[in-house]
Structure 1
Amino acid sequence: MFLIAGLGNPGKEYENTRHNAGFMVLDALADKLGADISEKKHKALCGRAVIGGQKVILLKPQTYMNSSGESIRAAADYYKVDPEDILVVYDDISLAPGQLRIRAKGSAGGHNGIKSIIAHLGTQEFPRVRVGVGEKPPRMDLADYVLGHFSQGERKIMEDAVKEAADAVMEAVEEGIDHAMNSHNRKKDGQA
């Protein structure tokens, strides 16, 4: 069994903000799989699906980003899922909008949601799909940037990235994280 967690903040005011890229990917994945992510459990909205014969739990923590680990730990304990079978999808300001980066493990890289997950799981050895939302402009507050909405020009790029990230998650479950990394870890056209 896999636990697939998309990170974000609950509430209408945060919908479609940069920090909610993980929620956006989970919603796209649920649409692809015909799953419903609405059961309230483990301080999250949960759903169930099957990818390539493998049972998966879809999880959207409702604890707010900086406490995501509480929800993920509760679900992992309940379903007896090991960290290497917990796939986390989240936004990354160090990647250009729409760029994906998939890793089998790694540090938090300054992301508070990932810091919380590492603290609660006691390890950084869990796979993740990072979705680029672009670097914050100089002199802009980081919180204002990540809680802000995508520009008109970024929206189409992000729609495509969300679909690709959902595909990458399915590939990671079906074919393994290395296969997904080889397929999706590349620069977008014209990006350094």
Structure 2
Amino acid sequence: MKKYLIVGLGNIGSEYSETRHNIGFKAVERLADKNDAIFQTAKLGDIATFKVKGRQIILLKPSTYMNLSGKAVTYWMQKENIPLEHLLIITDDLNLPFGTIRLKGKGSDGGHNGLKDLQDKLGTVNYNRCRFGIGNEFNKGNQVNYVLGEWTEEELTNLPERLNKVSDLVISFVLSGLNRTMNEYNGT
């Protein structure tokens, strides 16, 4: 059976749960809910699994904090024998307008500490990532407060539909592959 590791990046702790930086956690939680999968605490993170058309999907919320995400990802890739092309990282992106989704098969870390650590631990920039736009509506010097800030009322209203779109993207990635999924979902 083909296995896929879908990783939502975020920070553990209730003080971070509703922040922009935790959109990766929210995305995999939505995916778990839609597929009746339950997260359980395991080594270096919370894990939930489900199957779709003969493929096993393993959802991971690393418990290592954002800037050490690579440790949890590499551990679970090795433990579950997941090939690099079956890895998908879901993360926030300041450079995209709120709710914009962009799937890529490689790229830079874009100054994102979680992606920086992943790139270091994986030894490559060639891994799949789904970037979820959080916008950049902050004054100079307030980036950290913005990223670790909570959603606006308008963003909260639109978040469920956007998270459903990411869930659909993940299933498409698993069933149809990277290129077809990029063509269908990028920019939506």
TM-score by length of 1: 0.93
Q: Secondary structure at the match of 2:10?
A: coil
Q: Secondary structure at the match of 2:102?
A: strand
| Correspondence for 2:45 | 44
| Correspondence for 2:140 | 139
> Quick check: 76-85 or 108-117, which moved more?
76-85
Q: Secondary structure at the match of 1:115?
A: helix
Kindly report the root-mean-square deviation, in angstroms, between the aligned alpha carbons of the 2 structures. Answer: 1.2
Q: Is the 8 A contact 1:21 1:131 kept in 2?
A: yes
| Per-residue Cα deviation, 1:70-114 (whole angstroms, up to 9, x for no partner) | 100111111121221110001111011111001111111111101
| Per-residue Cα deviation, 1:150-177 (whole angstroms, up to 9, x for no partner) | 1101112222111101110111001111
1:14 partner letter: Y
CA distance in 1, matches of 2:143, 2:137: 7
| Correspondence for 1:112 | 113
Q: Is the 8 A contact 1:17 1:147 kept in 2?
A: yes
| Correspondence for 1:32 | 34
| Correspondence for 1:71 | 72
Q: Is the 8 A contact 1:7 1:60 kept in 2?
A: yes
Cα drift, residue 140 of structure 1 = 4.1
TM-score by length of 2: 0.95
| Correspondence for 2:5 | 3
> Quick check: 74-83 or 131-140, which moved more?
131-140
How many percent of aligned residue pairs carry the same amino acid? 37
| Correspondence for 2:125 | 124
CA distance in 2, matches of 1:47, 1:154: 27
| Mapped pair 1:100 → 2:101 | yes
1:145 partner letter: Y
Moved over 6 A (4+): none
| Correspondence for 2:89 | 88
Q: Is the 8 A contact 1:97 1:157 kept in 2?
A: no
Q: Is the 8 A contact 1:52 1:173 kept in 2?
A: no
* Structure 1 unaligned blocks of 5 or more: 188-192
CA distance in 2, matches of 1:178, 1:52: 19
Cα drift, residue 68 of structure 1 = 0.5
- Aligned residues, how many? 186
2:32 partner letter: A
* Structure 2 unaligned blocks of 5 or more: none
| Mapped pair 1:169 → 2:166 | no
| Mapped pair 1:180 → 2:160 | no
| Correspondence for 1:151 | 152
| Correspondence for 1:21 | 23
